[in-house]
């Protein structure tokens, strides 16, 4: 591994709860909490057992439930998390690319209930999560590559979600929303027990006419989750499905703007864990099926239809009938399947914890565009598949009365197409002081990411993939510190965290347009080093005085630079990153039924959008929430949510214009037995 450049240390937060109890091997978080104090917030982490947020050896953000309340998809809430770049094509979570510290959307890991999810067709579909935000109990962002612990997806960082199945009496709820652009959303949820099994079932539908022509959408979701405990064993399962249909105006090309897309995602997952004595074991099985129908020319009434002479024509959409390009033969059809099993075994001793883990997954695609020719299918005449195995062993040492913790890890990635890679890593943290404590931490490691099937095979409409692509690698290092300014007994908790990092990339996969060419081509960019830092502050108040008061405040700043620029070509991804980002989340409330929040983000990209002339894009939002009870069994909640208050015109990707000012009104009724 190349030498990791020195990083600058600064101050951050820690809690007085760094004790032997932090080494508990029980990684299940209490997802039923509606408020979480700083010292109690558990970091599930990428490859770490649950431990207090402020003892994490990596930079992480654990979101408070109020921060994702009222959103349609979790990507809306992640917009205001420090260090993460949420790039949307269409609003309301229609399609979202997640970037952490300048990494591409393919370089961010997604783990749900401890299991890594992957989208081998293209990372554009990774955030097609068939789970409503109301069904989540824990949301966390890990900033920093974690390939040795989490596998090939965690190149630049990870997003970790835990579903919520509450241990409460039988409940049922119904939510209805109305809003701008003829927005409607209906959601129903029921939770009940059958014997020792606790169930949660949700159904939802969201629709809108869109904010510009060809931006209409419909999202349907079904989620079933269950928990079961038997002695020392715990089981957690989910079945979930989602369908999306949406106008994709300018999504992938402004040359062919009138695009349309339909996706279906279905997931089945079962997780088991058991703790006995000093041993902890876990295992999981996971299946994810995804289908995608992409129309470069939208094919339906009043749009494009196939004529008798074999051309797609839109007779009524334009003043002059528009004919699709002669080479266009219809929609791209893709079906991908991921099947995975994983396991982990840990042993805790007096001063050491040893862990061994593996994740084995098959990834396959059938398509009319991507892959190698297959003989047994006329509609899906191409396909490919591969096997990927990640495995690691690690040892974690505790010393100096549990103030020092050092973990060394050696991982191997074996891919049936791209061979094997060794991924070493080390992280450490050291606590100072008593009561009000300071923690310094650092990590270094190597990550790998293999090309998607789109990277390898896509060849249509001015884009050319390459079967000669190499895997991309990164050596990265991070140092930082946390400082807890208030005591653990105080009802007011205030903290600061800051980090510095570097990521040295090799063979980074990009889609580029070389000077003088009309094509975008998938290629490897030899070497690019990224370096930057984060600074975040968090305040929480645990009590609830009768008068209006500040409940929580989160401030964040992140900055990023690269050691080179795109020369001789235009970069679609590697050099199109967020240079500066400043975030604010503040929540006010009373001991009564009313609270409101304000959120804001100022963002400056390395590649400026042609739609906005401002150096920074300023996004502000607010929401008001109120609730009441009608007897012992009926509760109700109301909300008003405002997004893009100042009606800013902006685009996250290319020419994909985002909506201006939006308002949503919501009302929820909950029955408790």
Q: Which of 219, 318, 213 is nearest to 259 (CA)?
A: 213
Radius of gyration of the chain (CA): 25
Task: Please spell the DSSP secondary structure of 414-438, one letter per residue.
Answer: EETTTEEEEEEEEEEEEEESSSS-E
Tokens of 189: 């949820």
pLDDT at position 451, please? 97
User: Per DSSP, which regions of 433-547 are E strands?
Assistant: 438-449, 459-460, 463-464, 472-484, 492-514, 520-541
Work out the angle at residue 466's Cα, subtended by the Cα atoms of residues 374 and 341, and round it to the nearest 5 degrees: 65
Asked whether 512 and 569 are in contact (CB, 8 A), the reply is yes
Buried residues in 302-321 as b, exposed as e (16+ CB within 10 A): ebbeeeeeeebbbeeeeeee
Element (H, E) at 148: helix 147-150
**pLDDT one-digit tens code per residue, 345-363:** 999 999 999 999 999 999 9
Rounded-to-integer distance, Cα 161 and Cα 626, Å: 26
pLDDT at position 9, please? 28
Tokens of 124: 């554009």
Which domains does the chain show, CATH number per domain? Answer: 20-296+331-627+647-672 (2.40.170.20), 300-330 (no CATH)
Asked whether 96 and 570 are in contact (CB, 8 A), the reply is no
Asked whether 394 and 424 are in contact (CB, 8 A), the reply is no
Q: What is the mean pLDDT of residues 191-200?
A: 93
User: Per DSSP, which regions of 309-377 are E strands?
Assistant: 312-314, 322-323, 332-348, 352-367, 372-373
Residue 654 pLDDT > 90: no
Rounded-to-integer distance, Cα 350 and Cα 396, Å: 11
- Report the C-alpha dihedral over residues 201, 202, 203, 208, rounded to 10 degrees: -170
Coil vs helix vs strand at 450 = coil
pLDDT at position 308, please? 87
Helices (H) and strands (E) in the chain, counts: 4, 38
Q: 412 to each of 33, 159, 358, how far by Cα in Å?
A: 37, 22, 10
**pLDDT one-digit tens code per residue, 386-440:** 999 999 999 999 898 888 999 999 999 999 999 999 999 999 999 887 655 889 9
Tokens of 226: 């269950």
Q: 170 to each of 36, 165, 633, how far by Cα in Å?
A: 24, 11, 11
User: What is the C-alpha end-to-end distance of the chain, expressed in Å?
Assistant: 59
Q: What is the mean pLDDT of residues 256-285?
A: 95
Report helix, strand and coil shares of the chain as percent, to nearest 5: 5, 55, 40
pLDDT at position 457, please? 97
Q: 343 to each of 148, 232, 545, 661, how far by Cα in Å?
A: 15, 17, 47, 47
Residues ≥6 apart with Cβ < 8 Å to 229: 196, 235
pLDDT band for position 44 (cuts 50, 70, 90): low
Residue with tokens 């229609």: 94
For the chain, what percent of residues have pLDDT higher than 70? 88
Average pLDDT of the residues of the chain? 87
CA 174 from centroid of its chain's CA atoms? 27
DSSP 232: T
Rounded-to-integer distance, Cα 412 and Cα 171, Å: 46
Q: Which of 108-112, 195-199, 265-269, 589-593 has the lowest mean pLDDT?
A: 589-593
Residue with tokens 């039924």: 593
Q: Which of 23, 28, 21 is nearest to 272 (CA)?
A: 28
């Amino acid at each position: 591994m190349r030498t990791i450049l020195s990083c600058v240390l600064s101050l951050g937060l820690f809690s007085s709860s760094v004790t032997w109890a932090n080494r508990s091997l029980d990684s299940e978080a209490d997802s039923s909490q509606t408020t979480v104090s700083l010292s109690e917030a558990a970091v599930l982490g990428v490859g770490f057992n649950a431990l207090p947020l402020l003892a994490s050896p990596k930079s992480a953000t654990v979101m408070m439930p109020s921060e994702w309340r009222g959103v349609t998809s979790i990507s809306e809430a992640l917009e205001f998390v420090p260090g993460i770049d949420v790039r949307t094509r269409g609003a309301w979570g229609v399609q979202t690319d997640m970037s952490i510290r300048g990494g591409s959307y393919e370089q961010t890991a997604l783990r749900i209930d401890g299991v890594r999810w992957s989208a081998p067709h293209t990372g554009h579909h990774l955030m097609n999560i068939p789970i409503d935000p109301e069904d989540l109990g824990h949301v966390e962002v890990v900033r920093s590559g974690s390939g040795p612990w989490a596998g090939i997806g965690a190149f630049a960082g990870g997003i970790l979600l835990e579903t919520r199945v509450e241990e409460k009496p039988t409940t049922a709820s119904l939510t209805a929303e109305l809003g701008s652009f003829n927005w409607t959303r209906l959601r129903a949820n029921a939770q009940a027990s059958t014997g020792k099994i606790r169930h949660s079932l949700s159904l939802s539908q969201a629709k809108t006419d869109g904010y510009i022509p060809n931006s209409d959408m419909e999202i349907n979701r079904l989620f079933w989750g269950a928990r079961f405990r038997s002695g020392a064993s715990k089981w957690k399962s989910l079945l979930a499905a989602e369908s999306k249909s949406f106008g994709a105006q300018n999504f992938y090309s402004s040359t062919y703007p009138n695009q349309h897309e339909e996706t279906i995602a279905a997931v089945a997952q079962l997780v088991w864990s058991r703790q006995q004595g000093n041993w902890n074991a876990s295992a999981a099985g996971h299946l994810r099926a995804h289908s995608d129908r992409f129309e470069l020319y939208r094919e339906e009434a009043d749009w494009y239809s196939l004529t008798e002479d074999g051309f797609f024509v839109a007779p009524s959409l334009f003043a002059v009938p528009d004919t699709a390009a002669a080479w266009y033969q219809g929609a791209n059809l893709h079906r991908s399947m991921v099947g995975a099993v994983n396991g982990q075994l840990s042993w805790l001793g007096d001063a050491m914890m040893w862990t061994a883990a593996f994740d084995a997954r098959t990834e396959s695609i059938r398509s009319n565009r991507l892959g190698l020719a297959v003989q047994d299918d006329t509609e899906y005449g191409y396909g490919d598949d591969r096997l990927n195995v990640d495995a690691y062993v690690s040892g974690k040492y505790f010393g100096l009365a549990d103030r020092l913790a050092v973990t060394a890890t050696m991982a191997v990635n074996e891919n049936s197409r791209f061979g094997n890679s060794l991924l070493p890593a080390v992280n450490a943290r050291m606590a100072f002081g008593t009561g009000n404590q300071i923690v310094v931490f650092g990590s270094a490691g190597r990550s790998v990411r293999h090309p998607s099937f789109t990277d390898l095979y896509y060849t249509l409409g001015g884009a050319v993939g390459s079967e000669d692509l190499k895997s991309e690698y990164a050596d990265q290092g991070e140092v930082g510190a946390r400082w807890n300014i208030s005591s653990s007994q105080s009802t007011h908790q205030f903290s600061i965290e800051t980090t510095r990092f570097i990521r040295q990339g090799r063979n980074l996969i990009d889609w580029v347009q070389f000077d003088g060419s009309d094509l975008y081509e998938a290629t490897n960019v030899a070497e690019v080093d990224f370096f930057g830092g984060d600074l975040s502050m968090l305040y929480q108040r645990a009590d609830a005085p009768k008068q209006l008061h500040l409940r929580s405040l989160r401030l964040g700043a992140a900055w990023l630079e690269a050691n080179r620029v795109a020369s001789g070509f235009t970069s679609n991804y590697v050099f199109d990153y967020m240079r500066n980002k400043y975030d604010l989340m503040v929540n006010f409330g009373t001991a009564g039924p009313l609270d409101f929040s304000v959120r804001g983000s100022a963002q400056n990209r390395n590649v400026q959008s042609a739609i906005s002339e401002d150096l920074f894009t300023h996004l502000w939002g607010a929401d008001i929430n109120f609730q009441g009870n009608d007897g012992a069994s009926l509760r109700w909640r109301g909300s008003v949510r405002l997004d893009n208050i100042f009606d800013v015109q902006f685009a996250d990707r290319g020419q994909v214009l985002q909506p201006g000012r939006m308002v949503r009104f919501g009302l929820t009724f909950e029955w408790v037995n």
